[in-house]
Every structure is written in C-alpha cells, then in structure tokens.
Amino acid sequence: MRVSTNMMYQRGVRSLQNANERLDTANQQLTTGNKFSSAGEDPVGMSQAQSLSTKIALYNQYNNNGGLLNSSLSLEETSLNSVNTSLSRAYTLMQQANSGALSSTDRASVATSLSEIQKQLLDLMNSKNADGEYIFGGNQSQTTPFTLGSNGKYIFQGDTGQRQIQVAPSVTIPSNDSGLALFQSVATRRTAQATSTSVSPVTVAVSDQSSYESFYKNTYDYGNSANNVFKIKTTAGTPDQYNIVNASGSVLSSGTYQAGTAISFNGLSLTMNSAAPNSASFQLDAPKNDNILNTLSKAIATLNNAASSGSTITDLAAEVETHLSNAMNIVNTKLGEIGGRMNTLDDVMSSNTSLSTIATEAKANVSEVDMYAAISNVSQEQNALTVAQQAYTKISKASLFDYL
C-alpha cells in the first residue's frame, strides 16, 4: 500500500481532533454531571430524562399547591374554632339571662355582651385569606358573604361552591366551605302546636327539647304534611285511658288519662282538660332554618325590652340555646371534615415527596455520570491526547531523506 506524506498528515490531524473531542466531552460531563447534552448523543436517554423531569416538576407543583391548601384550611380551622368559642359564650349568657334573679338592668347588660359577640361572629363569618378572598363565600370570593339587609335581617350573598385544589394526579381537595350551610341555614328550634280541627282543646308545649328534636328528626315527613298530624284519643274506664296515634292509625303511645294532667310524648307535654271520652290533634310545625345572627338580634331586642315577661325570656332562651347548639354541632362537624382533609393532604404530600425522590434517582441513573468515573475518564482522555500529540510530532518530522 502506498502511503503518501499528505495521508500521514491527515491521519495525524484526524487523530488529534478525535482525541480532543473525546477530552472535551469528558470535561463537559465532569463539569455538568450529565452524560449527554443533546438528543443526538443518546436519543433514548434524553427521552427518558425529559419524561422524568416532567414528573418531578409536576410533583413539585402539587406540593406547592398542597402548601397553599394547608394555609387555607388552617385559616378556616382557626376561624371556625373562634366561631365556636363565641357561640359557646353566647350560649352561657342566654343561660344566665334565663335566671329569674336577674333584673331588667342585668338583662340589658347581657344583651350588650351578646351584641359584642354578634359583631365578632359577623367579622369571623366574613373572614378573608392572605389574598383578600372571603373564605366562606363559596365561589363568590370577592363578595362579602354576610351583610345586614334593609329588613334588619342578616343575609347570605355567596353561593354553595367549593374551590378545589389538585394535590396529586387524581386527588383534589376542597380549600374552602360555603357559609350557607355553616351559618345561614342552621336549624332553629323545632316546635309543635294543636291543630285548628281539634275536637277538644289541647295545650302543646315542648318539655324536653333534646328528646323532641330527636323525635322530630326521625318522624317529620317533608313530602306529605298529613303524616305530621297526630291524634290523642281518650276512652272512659277505670281508669280512663289515652292513645296517641299517627295518620295511619298506628298507636304510638298509651297510658292512664286524667283531665288536666299533662301527657308526656317524645319531649312534648300535651294537656287536655276535657273528661273522657274525647279527642284532640296536634301537628309538628314545619322546619325553619335561619342565620344565627338573626336569632341573636331577636335575643338582644327581647332582653333590652324591660317589659319582657319571665315566660317570654324562658321561651326565648330555649329558642336561642337550641339554635346555638345546632350551629355548634355544624361547626364541630365541619372542623372534623377539615381535620380529615388536612390528614389526607399530609399523606398525599408525603407520597408526592417519595415519588419525586424516586423519579429524581431514576433520572440520575439515566442522565447523570458517576463522578469518579468521569474524573478517571478525563485523565484517560488527557493522556490519550498527549500520546496523540507526541505521535503526530514524530510523524510530521518523518521523510524519505531520513532513511537515505
């Protein structure tokens, strides 16, 4: 084979270039810590690295969302705890107001305290987050949820929406709750009354509110009001007897009857003055819901009225205490839900962190070099370049005259 001088130069230069490129690649890997910098160097590896980078970025964003959600839920939890404290204080004050030992001046003092609590509650019900959004307004985050209407009643101006925050590929958690169910549509005291069609007059009163509330909850028929009417039938005998029957005629309660003596029935006190045999009927009143602020307004007005009788105050206390108790039950239930959301969030964020770590390790295995191997590779390529340079120097000096 004929070897020309030009061929020897070209091969020598090519060898130097290749050695220099390998050294540059080794230096770049050592500097950046990456096995490749373009898809052309490793198409499969680059595709895997980009896919894993996308997953890592998503998990980081989910955890950022989780941080915002945790702040929002913590704020709502704090606000509701404060609401509970205010409701409990109002409940205690109403118990004090129901004491027969209080003068009208004392009751006016209780009314003043209730007025301050009402202001605190209104402020808490219109709580805002760090971004100035109302947390109890549903999706109407820029509209004041609770305001005093022209008729003197507090009204709700938000909606029932919940803002959902995604904290994992298939997990979204509500970041707020509507004040409609929390504060506006709170069940008031359930009552009953004699019907206008009663044959004999009957006095109906709630003697045990808790028992009656339970009976009402399990019995009231929202679809057919006729089923909410009950009859008291008495028969003469030794002794006289009574039966309380429902709309279908089923006997719900029975016992000895004595005119003028109250009959106890699921928290109700039913009194008939007519001798047996006679009959009367009573009905469960339609349920009503209202804003707790409106009930406090009624309490304040009644307590400030020096002419309010003891029986009026007693009836008011039963009404207010029941409404406040129902409100506290709702708030406590919601606090439990918020706690559940926060526990779920903690679990999801922990899972996100673990999955992100796994994805980061997988990406490192695909795209990152071993630093010890990279250092060794740089040293090796540096030596190879040095040898190539020395060989090129000797070859470049060679000519036929050296062999003559």
Query: Which residue type is seen at 398?
Result: A
Write down the mean pLDDT value for the chain. 85
**Omega of the bond prior to 277 within 30 degrees of 0, cis?**
yes
% of the chain exceeding 70 in pLDDT: 78
Is the model's pTM score more than 0.95? no
Compute the average pLDDT of residues 289-301: 96
Burial of 249 (0-12, 13-18, 19+ CB in 10 A): exposed
Name, in order, each residue with C-beta under 8 angstroms of 355's C-beta and a sequence gap of 6 or more. 55, 59
- What is the Cα–Cα distance from 330 to 327, expressed in whole angstroms? 5
- What is the Cα–Cα distance from 165 to 171, expressed in whole angstroms? 8
**Omega of the bond prior to 169 within 30 degrees of 0, cis?**
no
| Cβ contact 334:176 at 8 Å | no
pLDDT band at 102 (very low <50, low <70, confident <90, very high): confident
- What is residue 404's predicted lDDT score, i.e. its pLDDT? 43
Compute the average pLDDT of residues 263-292: 94
Q: Give exposure, 268-284, as e/b (b: 16+ Cβ within 10 Å).
A: bebebeeebebbbbbbb
pLDDT band at 56 (very low <50, low <70, confident <90, very high): confident
Name, in order, each residue with C-beta under 8 angstroms of 389's C-beta and a sequence gap of 6 or more. 16
pLDDT band at 401 (very low <50, low <70, confident <90, very high): very low
Query: Regarding predicted confidence, which is higher, 197 or 15?
Result: 197
What is the tens place of the pLDDT at every residue in 216-233?
Answer: 999 999 999 999 999 999
pLDDT band at 397 (very low <50, low <70, confident <90, very high): low
Compute the average pLDDT of residues 37-55: 65
| Cβ contact 257:240 at 8 Å | yes
Query: Regarding predicted confidence, which is higher, 156 or 9?
Result: 156
Pull the structure tokens for residue 119.
């202001």
